[in-house]
Amino acid sequence: MTEPASVFPPCAVGILEDGRLSDQEDIPKRFVIYRGTRMTEGWPGQMIEAQTFTHYNIGGKDFERVSYGSESDDWGANERPCHDCRVIKGEYHVVGCDVERCPKCDGQAISCDCLDEEDDGSTTYVEG
């Protein structure tokens, strides 16, 4: 809990001016502690925002999103936050999380076909 979150590592400036921006490994990440879990700065905001998306509209029908702990597989929601997006049991995953299930077919939300139809507008996020 004593990490100086506001201090940017001095070397970061050199890296950025060095033009090695394209090398992802060299970009120092800033971390924050949120609910006792270490995560990338800005991520807590994504988690909070994810809770405002309660349904997916798939083919004109609303499907409530599958919250963490409601999956048909046991991802350990009783013991720990989601390993991918860090939400806790009962919360909706951050969109794009690889644990989130599709509410329609129970497949992986990021890879199933139902939620793949955003391009033609048939799948949208519904704020609730």
Binding site for Zn ion (CB under 5 A): 82, 84-85, 93, 97, 99, 102, 104-105, 107, 112, 114
Least Cβ distance, residue 36 to Zn ion (angstroms) = 17
Least Cβ distance, residue 85 to Zn ion (angstroms) = 3
Nearer to Zn ion, 15 or 37 (CB): 37
Least Cβ distance, residue 6 to Zn ion (angstroms) = 27
Nearest to 73 by CA among 83, 58, 61, 64: 83
Query: Residue 120 corresponds to which amino acid?
Result: D
Nearer to Zn ion, 39 or 99 (CB): 99
Q: What are phi and psi of 118, to 5 degrees?
A: -60, -30
Instruction: Locate 80 and state its tokens.
Output: 């720990």
CA 89 to CA 17: how far, in whole Å? 42
Nearer to Zn ion, 25 or 120 (CB): 120
Instruction: Locate 58 and state its tokens.
Output: 């798939």
